[in-house]
Amino acid sequence: MFRIFLTFIFTVSMSAYSSEIVKFEEDPLEIAIKEVSAKKFQNDILKAIKYYNDGLFSKSIDISKDLLKTSGISDKDRQIIYLLLSSSFYKTKDEDSMIGLIKSLESKSFPDKYMLYRVFQLASLLFTERKNEEGIKAVFDKIYVKRISIPDLDFLLDEITKNDIFNIYPNKTQTVNYRGVEFQLNRNIFPFDPSKRVFGELFIYIVENDTTLLEISKKFDFGYYELKNANPLIDPFDVRKNQIVIFPYRRIFPYEKINYNNIYINLVEKRLYYPVVIDNKSYVITFPIGIGTDEAQSPVGEFKISEKRKDPAWYPPESIRKEQPDLPKVFPPGPDNPLGTRAMRLGNTSFLMHGTNKEYGIGMKVSHGCIRMYNEDVEKLFEVVDVGTKVVSNEIYIKKAGNEIEIFDESGYKFLDTVSTSKVFNSIYKTDMFGKSFSIKIF
């Protein structure tokens, strides 16, 4: 009897051990099948991207629809297919298919918020351009839990309960005080961890009235091309009511070595950074800038602010007077002064950081080498930096922190393969399906 009992125990133990082996060992054939399937899936996505780039949108749509039927498709892959479909539907002006896509997708299934925002943005562009009220309603029914509407596509956005999946930029922002100056949180000042370098978030903005990207840029403290690059396919001079604009407030600090109370300039992205500590908390103040043209480039190197002038007069140098001989010898302080309301000199050079009387040049290559700023921004910076403040200026085409990268425009494409080995990401990132000038995770 005892021998039978031992035999039973041994058999049960061996069975359990064998089942554990089976549990942890996968059939090599199944592994090979999965690898082949994954490779085919990737190749099909790359093929759909190529068809899109070549303008063969119907072929891109057919492949994308077939891929959606793949069993066991991951949320990461599904969001890429939704982006391919929505981009193709927009290009072909296929309103019915876009409505079906918006109604069928689950917002929570998007691991990357940008992909979600971009799909809804493309839908909003199509439906507002075509004046498709059903489509606009489908978009807002997904973005908002409760919607109040009045005729002619007019939405009382202030009275709507929003879906928390979407970061909708608030009408009013909190302020942070630094050295007696108020900065707007999540617009020109952000909580900042120097060890991570990534800060801020992406937001969507629902356009309230017909406008332009230039006007939106000025209002929300962006440079023109910064906002334009983040929102490809939007007509920058015809931004319509109820369209979605993506606000690229998620950024990577451009320098790895960071010292508080130094000014850091990245000429490529046309933006200035100033990290500070407020009440033992780390922040970064940041403003868009205009820079020198290709013929009169802004300086690269390290400088110190050597002079600060309030309401400066401007004496055009001889080099500019030769180009424009009709210029007066001096521009007194006032609204016509090209230096704006404040000026700060870089070292012993002729280059200044200053305001402007041409605010729509911010975010562009427009100056004779000086750093231009919105007057409101340069006035804030003027009050919080001292003579002797260090200024570091460089040209950084691609930024990477952890698994996130940021490229300002197409000039950074040549560096993309050095930081990302993902063929799908690199391919789709170089198309007009994807915006630039903000930090995004590599997928």
Q: 3-state secondary structure string, 386-431? A: CCCCEEEEECCCEEEECCEEEECCHHHHHHHHHCCCCHHHHHHHCC
Q: Which amino acid appears at position 133 of this protein?
A: E
pLDDT of residue 162: 54
Taking the C-alpha atoms of residue 273 and residue 299, their distance in angstroms, rounded to an integer, is: 16
How confident is the model at residue 172, as a pLDDT?
Answer: 87
Q: What stretch of H or E contains 318?
A: helix 318-323
Amino acid at site 282: S
State the Cα–Cα distance between residues 55 and 74, nearest whole angstrom. 27
Task: Provide the residue-wise pLDDT of the chain in tens; the chain has 443 residues.
Answer: 444 444 444 444 444 434 444 444 566 656 655 565 778 889 999 999 999 999 999 999 999 999 999 888 899 999 999 999 999 999 999 999 999 999 998 888 899 999 999 999 999 999 999 999 999 999 999 998 444 444 444 444 444 455 678 999 988 889 999 999 999 999 999 999 999 999 999 999 999 999 999 999 999 999 999 999 999 999 999 999 999 999 999 999 999 999 999 999 999 999 999 999 999 999 999 999 999 999 999 999 999 999 999 999 888 777 777 677 777 777 788 888 999 999 999 999 999 999 999 888 999 999 999 999 999 999 999 999 999 999 999 999 999 999 999 999 999 999 999 999 999 999 999 999 999 999 999 99
Beta strands 189-191; 281-288: pairing state? antiparallel
Torsion sign, CA atoms 152, 153, 157, 159: positive
Contacts (Cβ under 8 Å, ≥6 apart) of 363: 217, 222, 223, 224, 225, 226, 227, 270, 288, 289, 290
Alpha helices in 54-180 (DSSP H): 57-68, 75-92, 95-104, 113-129, 133-143
**pLDDT recorded at residue 21:** 40
Contact between 113 and 202 under an 8 Å Cβ cutoff? The reply is: yes
Look at the chain and count its residues. Answer: 443
Q: What is the model's pLDDT at position 165?
A: 87
3-state SS, residue 265? strand
| Distance in angstroms (rounded) separating the CA atoms of residues 317 and 327 | 10
- The per-residue pLDDT for 238 is 97
**pTM of structure:** 0.87
User: Residue 19's pLDDT is what?
Assistant: 43
Strands, E, within 279-334: which ranges?
A: 281-288, 291-292, 301-310
Q: How many CB atoms lie within 10 A of CB 115?
A: 21
Q: Which residues are tagged catalytic?
A: 354, 370
Contact status, residue 149 vs residue 155, Cβ threshold 8 Å: yes
Is the Cα torsion angle 212, 214, 220, 225 positive or negative in sign?
Answer: positive
Q: Cβ(196)–Cβ(401) under 8 Å?
A: yes
Looking at residue 405, its pLDDT comes to: 97
Where along the chain do its domains lie? 31-159, 263-394
Written as six digits, the tokens of 410 are: 């197409």
Answer left, alpha or beta for residue 369, where phi above 0 means left and psi between -120 and 50 means alpha: left
Q: Which residues 6+ apart lie within 8 Å of 148 measured at CB?
A: 155, 156, 159, 160
What is the reported pLDDT for 276?
98
**155 forms bridges with which residues in the sheet?**
149
State how far the Cα of 15 lies from the Cα of 240, in Å rounded to an integer.
Answer: 69
How high is the pLDDT of residue 4?
Answer: 46
Rounded Cα distance, 360 and 54, in Å: 34
* 31-159 CATH pick, 1.20.1050, 3.30.70, 3.40.50, 1.25.40: 1.25.40
CATH architecture of the domain formed by 263-394: Beta Barrel (2.40)
Task: Quote the tokens at residue 431.
Answer: 């198309």
